[in-house]
């Protein structure tokens, strides 16, 4: 049995016409990290207190865009998308498989490209590592240059080194300290920003395809969440404004590509539509 007419998704062209009204502002808001006090890690006089509640909140927001948080968000959003009453159990299973596989390929591919090609090519040190290499005064905490730190064999070796030299009295919350110790790869671009903006773009596009009721507002909130993830990275001083701006741009483009890929695959798998079918969201 074919999909009921009222369950037919809005056209991809219609979705791509509406999507930029939300995601274009979201993708450009990270530019504010260059100028807003507390968001630019290179403006030492405006650093936020890494021991305070704002830093802890930034840590948890960043964690939501990490490899630990992203899969949970993806599962919840996919479940909400395929919970539409107008589709069959088989269609739900197929759509879930296509979404999970397509998003995993593009998210994993983008992360691999960043981690193994772009980051090593540019070799940009993280702002917190530069800070440790330059302060305080003549006896910096890092006890070596940023270049020497990144010459250590791998991220694990760098993390182990930070554990030994980052004193307990250095003013930061325990969770932020652990985050600094864990985040020892190169800085440019931001993987967290990439992942969050990709998820926001893809799942909002899918929601615009199928929903027109109050459920759609939950997906609009994804744009704010993605921006918050972008802001959290320089607030924690582990990324620069350029890192998060380029990462968010990458993620937006990858999210649109994932949407088009999923729509194409589902169109191939879906039975031919009757000639009288009328496009429209559920």
Summarised one tens digit per residue, pLDDT across range 90-148 is: 999 999 999 999 999 999 999 999 999 999 999 999 999 999 998 877 788 899 999 99
Span of 15-24, 190-199, 227-236, 264-273 with lowest mean pLDDT? 264-273
% of the chain beyond a pLDDT of 90: 74
- What angle separates helix 89-113 from helix 191-210, to the nearest 10 degrees? 150
Summarised one tens digit per residue, pLDDT across range 223-250 is: 999 999 999 999 999 999 999 999 999 9
């Amino acid at each position: 049995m074919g999909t009921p007419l009222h369950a037919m998704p809005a056209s991809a062209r219609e979705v791509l016409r509406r999507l930029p009204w939300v995601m274009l502002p979201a993708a450009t808001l990270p530019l504010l990290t260059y100028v807003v006090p507390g968001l630019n890690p290179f403006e030492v006089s405006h650093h936020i207190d890494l021991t305070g509640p704002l830093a802890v909140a930034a840590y948890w927001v960043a964690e939501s865009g990490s490899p630990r948080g992203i899969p949970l968000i993806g599962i919840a959003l996919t479940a909400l998308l395929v919970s539409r009453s107008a589709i069959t159990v088989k269609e739900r299973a197929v759509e879930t498989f296509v979404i999970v596989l397509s998003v995993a390929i593009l998210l994993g591919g983008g992360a691999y490209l960043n981690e193994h090609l772009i980051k090593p090519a540019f070799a940009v040190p993280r702002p917190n590592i530069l800070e440790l290499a330059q302060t305080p005064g003549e006896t910096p905490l890092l006890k070596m240059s940023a270049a020497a730190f990144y010459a250590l064999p791998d991220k694990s070796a760098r993390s182990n080194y930070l554990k030994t030299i980052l004193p307990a009295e250095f003013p930061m919350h325990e969770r932020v300290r652990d985050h600094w110790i864990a985040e020892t790869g190169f800085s440019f671009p931001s993987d967290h920003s990439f992942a969050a903006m990709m998820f926001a773009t893809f799942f909002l596009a899918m929601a615009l395809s199928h929903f027109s009721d109050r459920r759609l507002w939950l997906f609009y909130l994804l744009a704010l969440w993605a921006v918050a993830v972008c802001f959290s990275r320089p607030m924690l001083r582990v990324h620069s404004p350029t890192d998060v701006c380029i990462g968010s741009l990458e993620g937006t483009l990858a999210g649109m590509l994932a949407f088009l890929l999923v729509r194409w695959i589902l169109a191939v798998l879906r039975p031919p539509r009757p000639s009288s079918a009328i496009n429209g969201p559920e």
